[in-house]
Amino acid sequence: MRHLTSIRELTRESAIALLDNAQELAQVGDREVKKLPALRGKTVVNLFFENSTRTRISFEIAAKRLSADVINVSAESSSVSKGESLKDTAQTLEALGADAIVLRHPMSGAPKILAAQGWTKASIVNAGDGSHEHPTQALLDALTLRQVAASSTDLAGLRVLIVGDILHSRVARSNILLLNLLGANVEICGPEALVPSGIEELGASISHSFDQALERNPDAVMMLRIQKERMDGSYFESPAAYGRDWSLNSERLSKLRLNTKILHPGPMNRGLEISAEAADDSRSLVLRQVANGVAVRMAVLHNCLSSGGES
């Protein structure tokens, strides 16, 4: 593949191939010299129009472990702040030698537009666009689940419950698409104001009671961050009321089976959507998700930039 802007661009086979590659590349992180020469001579630009810590650093480490040169550009420090268009920015970066542009943008569809318009020959990787998609987050979540699931290939039959602010979550959308592609059963659960109409068409069942959803004994519970920065109104009564109905608190934690896994894409609002006890529980895979993010992004960058873009 040349670009990755959406999970929809993957087939089941190509997704599994990426996960297999990421699993192999994860071993690089355990070596004394954490570096491969695979992308030596290539330049990766992290172009972030939204603040990010873990995703940008994860892509930076991934590119450096493959020996690529890395440039980080934020909107505040670039000519974008002076009114430059996305097209002009991309073409400037290409003229400076960018082989891949990792783009985070507040507008849904921006990476797709950049990849499709022919404004640049660079590979485009979506690092999160609006409330649309975050494909590498979904891939790292799938890799994390696959490492603890019975199957080492796909996630067939796995029951995953995604809880919280579905409306603003690009993570939820990419995960629904990918988990379905890999054979998992997905249920989304949240207050009615934070579950968009029509999202079941992506391949998930919907419920509005966290406690009832837990009674169905999911294999994994994925908690979502409340995205206050994207909220233009009141979506719940109060933080206390949200925590009462939707937090993975101590009481709900005690109802999980011993082998039920807990995921969160981060950053976590401890005490709001997840308690500190749940975040630090032995069933929590949060830190494994972070570590797997580097391996998945290595696999994606390598796939996009090697062999002329062929898988």
Angle at 262 between CA 258 and CA 267, to 5 degrees: 155
Measured in degrees and rounded to the nearest 5, phi and psi for residue 68 equal -80, 155
Q: Is 225 annotated as a binding residue?
A: yes
DSSP one-letter string for 30-65: GSSS----TTTT-EEEEEESS--SHHHHHHHHHHHH
Domains of the chain: 3-133+290-307 (3.40.50.1370), 135-288 (3.40.50.1370)
**The pLDDT of residue 103:** 97
pLDDT at 227: 80
Does the annotation flag 31 for ligand binding?
A: no
> What's the confidence (pLDDT) of residue 311?
39
d(CA 244, CA 275): 11
267 is in an annotated binding site: yes
The pair of structure tokens assigned to 14 is 């190509």
What percent of the chain has a predicted confidence (pLDDT) above 70?
Answer: 95
pTM: 0.95
pLDDT tens-place string over residues 98-154: 999 999 999 999 999 999 999 999 999 999 999 999 999 999 999 999 999 877 789
As separate numbers, helices (DSSP H) first and strands (DSSP E) second, the chain gives 11, 9
The pLDDT value given to residue 74: 85
On whether 257 is known to bind a ligand per the annotation, the reply is: no
Q: Is 55 annotated as a binding residue?
A: yes
What pLDDT was estimated at residue 235? Answer: 80
Q: Is 266 annotated as a binding residue?
A: yes
